[in-house]
Amino acid sequence: MASVVEYKGLKAGYYCGYCQSREGKASCGLWAHSMTVQDYQDLIDRGWRRSGKYVYKPIMNQTCCPQYTIRCRPLQFQPSKSHKKVLKKMLKFLAKGEISKGSCEDEPMDSTMEDAVAGDFALMNKLDIKCDLKTLSSDLKGSIESEEKKEKSIKKEGSKELIHPQAIEEKLGSGEPSHSIKVHIGPKPGKGADLSKPPCRKAKEMRKERKRLKLMQQNSAGAFEGFQAQGQPVSLLPKAKTNQPKSLEDLIFESLPENSSHKLEFTRFLCNSPLEAEHPPNGPECGYGSFHQQYWLDGKIIAVGVIDILPYCVSSVYLYYDPDYSFLSLGVYSALREIAFTRQLHEKTSQLSYYYMGFYIHSCPKMRYKGQYRPSDLLCPETYVWVPIEQCLPSLDNSKYCRFNQDPQAEDEGRCKDLDRVRVFYRRSAMPFGVFKNQHNDPSEEPAVLEYANLVGQKCSERMLLFRN
């Protein structure tokens, strides 16, 4: 089994959804008629990413908003405070039916699209899905709506109904499930402060008070330990309070009471993609390939995430969700579940230990939130080595395009070194490019094949079959 691809070349001067430049984007692309999971793993490790069967690579030193491949290290991952808020919000909703009020501070709203190229409507990256159509430009909004009209709002798969990706809208401000945006005009006139009640305390003062009480408790516990050393009975000592932070799994898989208000279930099944499904004996139980992950709430499907399970990682693709449940921050919640899922796969398949989140765009402030999933690494756009994001940020603050590898002598070790060994597919036959070149004697073929081979790397160019007319 070999990947069969058709190189589409450079596409430059088209619309960017990150900075709204009408002709600032530049990328190279190829159409994947079929692709092995190992080839796609090697491609994303060279800055490529798929949207359906179209696989593209931003030209980093030319495009208006450089997109750096980012991966999280799930084995060392610790959820941040905002991540824990999302998980606790979901638990409260499931257990008691509570809907959190007030503004959602999990992550900023995004107004962005992945590359729409070669006539293929690009789907939103699952971590970029939280988007308000009202904040997009009219041109971009029109293109989204026109594409959505072409699709049916509901697709049948067996006896289950899948939600169409029409849920690209999320309310700003409060967490109430709604399609509209309420504008807060101003406070209503009141009667002033109630002098019969104590004055409101500032949050800073309350934190100081809690810290002072905690120190007093610690000091008293130390005094009791001193008494114990002098023969004081242990039963008189205060019980030690464990204050271990909950792990990601503790927060996600916390048991719910029997009378919970809601029930959330998950199903997973293979979905159509250019990736060929594989089930090696030493691989994960579900195998490698592209999967739909369905989120069912009380028997109703509310979200569908698409992931690629590859030899070394779980790669996030996109998420469809019902906008009525945007108050649950499903984009963040599904990402945290997928990080936990990567950990589970690692237990069976030790080399599978990364979670790829798509692209990190530092030049777009709203797109920096992916860097909050720590620890994480960015891919050097010149040498294709992984560098911890903390080392990359100072350089990105000074320039939107950066080489992260600090060794000035380092080169791209995977670049094309022997063009004649590139495999091509011509008239139903696979052959090295050297043989094809000698048969056709067409000098115009070589520049395009060389460009392709340098972008995909020598390893992939020798395994994949490049379609030639």
pLDDT in tens, the chain (469 residues): 899 999 999 999 999 999 999 999 999 999 999 999 999 999 999 999 999 999 999 999 999 999 999 999 999 999 999 999 999 999 999 999 998 765 444 443 333 334 333 332 233 344 433 333 233 334 334 433 443 444 333 333 333 334 443 333 222 222 223 333 333 334 444 554 454 455 566 677 777 777 777 776 666 555 444 434 444 443 444 444 456 778 999 999 988 998 999 999 999 888 989 999 999 999 999 999 999 999 999 999 999 999 999 999 999 999 999 999 999 999 999 999 999 999 999 999 999 999 999 999 999 999 999 999 999 999 999 999 999 999 999 999 999 999 999 999 999 999 999 999 999 999 999 999 999 999 988 889 999 999 999 999 999 999 999 999 8
User: Tokens standing for 159?
Assistant: 């006896």
Choose among 155, 165, 159: nearest CA to 128: 165
User: Which SS3 state, helix, strand or coil, does residue 214 take?
Assistant: helix
Distances from the Cα of 193 to the Cαs of 188, 197, 199, in angstroms? Answer: 14, 9, 8
Q: Are 68 and 359 in contact (CB under 8 A)?
A: yes
Q: Which phi and psi angles does 386 have, rounded to 5°?
A: -90, 135
Q: What's the pLDDT at 148?
A: 42
3-state helix, strand, coil split of the chain in percent (to 5) is 35, 25, 45
Q: Are 95 and 257 in contact (CB under 8 A)?
A: yes
End-to-end CA distance of the chain: 21
pLDDT in tens, 354-392: 999 999 999 999 999 999 999 999 999 999 999 999 999
User: Tokens standing for 399?
Assistant: 């320039």
Q: What's the pLDDT at 147?
A: 39
Q: Are 422 and 463 in contact (CB under 8 A)?
A: no
Q: Are 123 and 51 in contact (CB under 8 A)?
A: yes
Sequence spans of domains, the chain: 76-108+153-179+247-351, 416-469
**In 86-209, which ranges are E strands?**
154-157, 160-163
Q: What's the pLDDT at 212?
A: 73
User: Tokens standing for 265?
Assistant: 């279930």
Cis peptide before 375 (omega within 30 of 0): yes
